[in-house]
Amino acid sequence: MDSIYLPRAYLITDVIQETDGEVDVKTFRLAAKSGESLDFMPGQFVELTVPGFGEAPFGFASSPKNKDYVELSIKRVGVVTQAVHDLSPGDAVWLRGPFGNSFPVREMEGANILYVAGGLGLAPLRPLIDYVFHPENREKYGKTKLLSAARTPADFIYKYDVGRWKECRDFEIFQTIDAPYKSWEGRVGFPHELLKTMEILPDSLYAVVCGPPIMIKYTARALKELGVCESRIITTLEMRMSCGVGKCGKCNIGRRYVCVDGPVMRLSDLAQMPDEY
């Protein structure tokens, strides 16, 4: 049976320790034991199993144009995430997916894009950033900006990507931390405050905001006040999940299932949904 519940074996080929602050995030590079590629679109997620410990959902964190491996950036918080953090290159994990909807990359063509990331929220944005930067696609999109926030300098993930991204055409990056920190010379403050100091041209803009729920709420409100249309403010949601395919009844917000109708949602969708997330 070709089951939606049947995971496939992957080999960990690389582990990157992303943070050394309060939160412990590692990025795992995974290649299918069978050699086959896992085709996905930015915004989608997979269910990852560590046998004996269980299964949990994680957003893809690597470029969808990369067919040799996928990357997941995982914060250590509980049973499964601890178990995967304990693994090393050469160990196996299991994946099933891809699941969920994706960022409306077609619809976004021609527009400028503002990415706003809070902490680990940069992970689900990374496939989108790299998709847009891909030579096949770069011409289709306008200017892009990334506003990346973290609690402390040590909590930024993908520090090694910044140099690579800065070399891309029409791209600006703004990094900010929550509170002043000894050696930090960059910006200080929450993203929704900094937005007000940035040049935002709301008419031709898609704003993609990923991070903790509270940050999404404040940032979305600030963007709205700056005149960005609700249907062009896009975010990703997290709910506890088991099946990932709309069967187990766990992840709904109102009548919508985050695993199939999401995780990507527009602010205009959220306005229609009850506030239970």
Which residues contact another protein by CB under 8 A? 1-9, 33, 49, 51-55, 77-78, 81, 94, 213, 238-240, 242-243, 245-250, 252-255, 260, 274, 276-277
Instruction: Give the total of residues touching ligand FAD (CB under 6 A).
Output: 21
CB 201 within 8 A of CB 226: no
Nearer to another protein among residue 169 and residue 271 (C-beta): 271
> What is the C-alpha to C-alpha distance for residues 247 and 51, in angstroms, rounded to an integer?
22
Separation of CA 246 from chain center: 21
- Binding status of residue 137 toward ligand FES by CB under 6 A: no
Q: Of these, 238, 252, 260, 266, which contacts ligand FAD (CB under 6 A)?
A: 238
User: Stretches 4-12, 55-63, 88-96, 136-144: which one binds ligand FAD (CB under 6 A)?
Assistant: 55-63
Angle at 77 between CA 75 and CA 81, to 5 degrees: 65
Nearest distance, CB of residue 54 and ligand FAD, angstroms:
6
Strands 92-99 and 187-188: unpaired
Nearer to ligand FAD among residue 85 and residue 228 (C-beta): 85
Residues numbered 206 to 245 that lie near ligand FES (CB under 6 A) are 241-244
> What is the C-alpha to C-alpha distance for residues 257 and 247, in angstroms, rounded to an integer?
9
Rounded to whole angstroms, what are the CA distances from 107 to 8, 110, 141? Answer: 32, 8, 10
Q: Of these, 15, 32, 154, 239, which contacts ligand FAD (CB under 6 A)?
A: 239
> What is the C-alpha to C-alpha distance for residues 118 and 113, in angstroms, rounded to an integer?
16
Q: Of these, 77, 162, 201, 248, which contacts ligand FAD (CB under 6 A)?
A: 77
Check residue 273 and report its DSSP letter: S
Residue labelled with tokens 């709205």 = 224
Q: Of these, 70, 259, 264, 265, which contacts ligand FES (CB under 6 A)?
A: 259
Q: Of these, 10, 28, 40, 58, which contacts ligand FAD (CB under 6 A)?
A: 58
Spatial CA neighbour of 113 closest among 179, 186, 209, 190: 209
Contacting residues toward ligand FAD, per CB under 6 A = 45, 54, 56-59, 73-75, 77-81, 120, 123, 238-241, 263
